[in-house]
Amino acid sequence: MNILFKNPTVPLDTLPTVADIPWTAVEFRYRNMVLLRNLFVSLILIPMGIGLFFIFQLVDQAGHAGEDFQRIARYLVGGGASLLIAYLLFQWYVMPFLEVPRMKYAVRLQDINYRRGVFSTKTTSAPFRRMQHAETNRGPLERMFDLASLSIFTAAGLALQIRGLSPETAETLRDHVLKKISEYQQLDANNDVEDSTGL
């Protein structure tokens, strides 16, 4: 375990740590947007579920299967459907209340960090030095709630996607990222190291 920090010029306690940084939560109205989006999804899926239920009833009444099979199938389908419905209701209408306040980001001098998750938390850190481009996106629902999302790409693909930002914040962050990318390209060009595309 001590191989990593043998180098005396980098003592562990002097390293800047992600744990101590002040986090900023995404916009609160993002929760309402997610709830509305989930309502739309459920309005599409519920009629499909009802349709499937009636199809099952028709199959059931056709009498091809034996009595035991019908009983087992009814238990299985009923049990499975109840569990699925409970899970979906929880995901659609309860999770946004828990999830959105925990979606937080932090911008440091050298990197952007993004933390999310309720039962399982994940913190991703992407250094500016590795970024290749950044873009902001605004879908119809996001425009309705005056929100935007920021996507940051490295050579490994999408590194971070922060949803639920105000358009101003998203654009400021995007400009900041692009400025940083440009700064690093300039620095590398001055150092005569490789090409300026980061590749």
Partner 1 sequence: MIGLTTVFEQDIWYKASPVALLFFVGKTIRKGFEQFKSLVLPNSFVLAWFLSQRNWLLIGILVGIWVILIFAVAFVRYWRFRFKLTPNSISVREGVLKERQLDLEFERIRAVNYKRGLVDRVLGLTGISFDTAGSGEAEATIPAVSMKFAESLRASIEEKRTELLEPELSQDWAFGEKENLLIPTFEWPEMLRIGFSSGNFLFVATFIGAISAFAGQYSSAFTESDSANQTNLLARAVMWIVTHGHELHAGVIPGIHRTFSIALIFVELVLLLVVLTMIFNLVSAIFQWYRFSLFRENDTLKSVAGLTTVRETRLTLPKIQSVVISENLRSHWFSFFKLTARQSHSQQEHTLVVPLASSDRSSELCQLMFKDATTGLRFDPRAPEFIRISPAYFWVDFFKVGVVPSLFAIGVAMLLFYSVWWILILVWPLLVALVQFLKWRKAGYMYNETAIVHRKGLLTYTLVTLPFSKIQSVSVEQNIVQQWTQRATLEIRNSTQSIGIPYIDINLACDFRDFLLYSIESAKEEWQ
Least CB distance from residue 48 to partner 1, whole Å?
Answer: 22
Q: How far is residue 153's CA from residue 160's CA, in Å, rounded to a whole number?
A: 7
Q: How far is CA 192 from CA 33, 51, 155, 186, in A?
A: 48, 66, 21, 10
> Hey, what's the torsion of the CAs at 89, 95, 96, 98, to 10 degrees?
150
Q: Does 194 bind partner 1 (CB under 8 A)?
A: yes
Written as one letter, the residue type at 133 is H
Regarding 18 and contact with partner 1 (CB under 8 A), the answer is yes
* Residue 151 to residue 168: CA distance in whole angstroms: 15
To partner 1, the closest distance from the beta carbon of 184 in angstroms equals 7
Helix (H, G, I), strand (E, B) or coil at 147: coil
Of the candidates 8, 17, 22, 64, which one interacts with partner 1 according to CB under 8 A? 17
Q: Which of residues 79-138 bind partner 1 (CB under 8 A)?
A: 79, 110-111, 117, 119-130
Which of 26, 150, 159, 181 lies at the binding interface for partner 1 (CB under 8 A)? 159
Contact residues toward partner 1 (CB under 8 A) are 1, 3-7, 10, 12, 15-19, 71-72, 75-76, 79, 110-111, 117, 119-130, 154-157, 159-160, 184, 188, 191-195, 197-199
